Structure 1
């Protein structure tokens, strides 16, 4: 079992760079039409420092020239992952309401709430990740979320090298949306990025190979049931 775990870790490290991926477009739109284009998009590189402002919307993902997609509350938003999610780990979705227009808003402060997450499933001696291999991922915009302009943040946390501090890889994209037909819900708990995660969180600093975990809770706040 220990040999198998060692081989798994070695393989994970060897495919570290080859396995990078990105969330390229929203609802079949053009690439980066509604998704903030960040500085390292050409390399698909992840963020590894949870204390950096880049954990919010990737490397310098300010969104000053990004379009804003109109979506109805209760509808589905789908992100395309051209090469597929190639690392094990959880998938999470957050939203943050802009004070006015979302274009160019940096998303700072305790404004983020989680709307969905997909963690792990378990079988005897195994931990499985339902998001692995996905070439598109979808989330429902909560029906009771107030109308207005938002950043919609998708995040996949790759845990193949997460047994050492700073080893977890965060693949992040931020889309700009305008929600119509919303409700009067009060989203929360609200968190900030950076601030929502710690490098020592047990769901971020974790060995998923040996001993095989028997439970897993994704990091961050609870999901808002809107």
Structure 2
């Protein structure tokens, strides 16, 4: 078992650009948008963010300055999502956050409070930690009680194939500009700031996923707010 786990770990260290991916499209109202219509375009091609203390952890490199990005109107309680330019290659969780803009989403830099609305982690069976594979999109529900207004909607997949040391986890991030309508009077929380909400030593960020095989996984960030 140990030799197999070591081989899997060595294979996972292949990290060429072909193994990288980007969240490029918003799925809303049953329709997948054009690339970067509502999703802020990053400037580092398909490379991940690795420094959790950088402002890039909010919306990826270049994602805080995207004035041409449009704002999508979505209804509280509806199903929305993000699509990728290719299927996710590396193991790791998917997490979705929102942060309310002081005025317009298009001018917001994400420096306020973020709350989590969805996440997808591993399952455990017969001594294995199993991650979703061949994920080309991820959909979720915007809580019905989310207050109306404009938000940054943030998705990330944290690749853990090199996460046994600090700084080894890779964050594949995108933010979309959205306007929530038909919302409620909920108080989203708990909240974090980005950067600040993650530490490079968090157990869900610094982890050897191969050997010894973990028997549990601590999802990074706060608990999910369901509204």
Q: TM-score scaled by structure 1?
A: 0.95
- Structure 1 residue 45: deviation in Å? 0.5
SS at match of 1:150: strand
Distance across 1 between alignment mates of 2:165 and 2:215: 19
1:176-215 aligned at under 5 Å gives the runs 176-215=177-216
Q: Which residue of 2 aligns with 1:126?
A: 128
Distance across 2 between alignment mates of 1:127 and 1:18: 25
- Structure 1 residue 16: deviation in Å? 4.7
Q: Does 1:93 align with 2:100?
A: no
Q: Which residue of 1 aligns with 2:23?
A: 23
CA deviation string 1:180-209 (max 9, x = no partner)? 000000001111000110000011000000
- Structure 1 residue 177: deviation in Å? 0.4
Distance across 2 between alignment mates of 1:140 and 1:19: 28
User: How many residues end up aligned between the 2 structures?
Assistant: 222
Distance across 2 between alignment mates of 1:113 and 1:182: 16
Q: Which residue of 2 aligns with 1:83?
A: 86
Q: Which residue of 2 aligns with 1:4?
A: 4
CA deviation string 1:52-92 (max 9, x = no partner)? 00000000212321100000001111211131011111110
- 1:116 aligned to which of 109, 115, 118: 118
Distance across 2 between alignment mates of 1:167 and 1:8: 17
Distance across 2 between alignment mates of 1:122 and 1:176: 35
Distance across 1 between alignment mates of 2:58 and 2:104: 18
1:136-151 aligned at under 5 Å gives the runs 136-151=137-152
Deviating beyond 4 angstroms after TM superposition, the runs of 4 or more aligned structure 1 residues are: none
Distance across 1 between alignment mates of 2:149 and 2:87: 31
Distance across 1 between alignment mates of 2:123 and 2:17: 26
Task: Provide structure 2 residue ranges, at least 5 long, that are not aligned to the other structure.
Answer: none
Task: Provide structure 1 residue ranges, at least 5 long, that are not aligned to the other structure.
Answer: none
SS at match of 2:6: helix
Q: Which residue of 1 aligns with 2:70?
A: 67
Q: Which residue of 2 aligns with 1:163?
A: 164
Distance across 2 between alignment mates of 1:207 and 1:37: 31
1:38-49 aligned at under 5 Å gives the runs 38-40=42-44, 42=45, 44-49=46-51
- Structure 1 residue 8: deviation in Å? 1.1
SS at match of 1:170: strand
